């Protein structure tokens, strides 16, 4: 079990997402970087991680900050609920629990891939602080 948003956790996420054959089809043609920013985690501070996906393959998933095509920012408890399957990512964006920056039209075109990514997130054995 890996600590949420740690290097070990993001590597497990990359492996989980790349193992999903449906993801490869759903994200074909998508070439983008996505920054996930987890705010206010107490002793660990902010926990940013980012991913680079191209044609359905996650080429990189790393902890840390990077200038990305898309950014999704939210408080730690919201992200914890998303990872635990208690909160839907898109619902959290629509209700402004998360802040989305980037081209929403393009993301909506690849919404199946986004949902599959969140399913992969939920399959990673995760420990929270």
Tens of pLDDT along 28-73? Answer: 999 999 999 999 877 788 999 999 999 999 999 998 999 999 999 9
Give the pTM: 0.92
Please say whether the beta carbons of 100 and 72 come within 8 A.
Answer: yes
pLDDT at 40: 82
DSSP 12: H
Return the CATH superfamily for domain 2-123.
Answer: SCP2 sterol-binding domain (3.30.1050.10)
| In the chain, where the domains are located | 2-123
Helix H or strand E segment including 63: strand 57-63
Tens of pLDDT along 62-113? Answer: 989 999 999 999 999 999 999 999 999 999 999 999 999 999 999 999 999 9
pLDDT at 43: 79
Q: Which of 78, 82, 70 is nearest to 115 (CA)?
A: 82
CA dihedral 40, 9, 98, 17 (to 10 degrees): 180
Tens of pLDDT along 14-24? Answer: 999 999 999 99
SS3 64: coil
CA angle 101, 58, 126 (to 5 degrees): 80
């Amino acid at each position: 079990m890996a600590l949420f948003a740690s290097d070990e956790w993001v590597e497990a996420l990359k492996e989980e997402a790349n193992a999903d054959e449906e993801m490869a089809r759903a994200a074909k043609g998508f070439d983008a970087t996505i920054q996930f920013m987890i705010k206010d985690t107490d002793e660990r501070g902010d926990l940013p991680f980012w991913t680079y996906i191209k044609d359905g393959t996650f080429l990189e998933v790393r902890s840390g900050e990077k200038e990305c095509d898309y950014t999704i920012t939210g408080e730690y408890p919201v992200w914890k609920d998303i990872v635990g399957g208690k909160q839907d990512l898109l619902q959290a964006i629509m209700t402004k629990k998360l802040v989305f920056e980037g081209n929403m039209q393009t993301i909506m075109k690849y919404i199946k891939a986004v949902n599959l990514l969140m399913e992969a997130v939920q399959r990673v054995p995760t420990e929270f602080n």
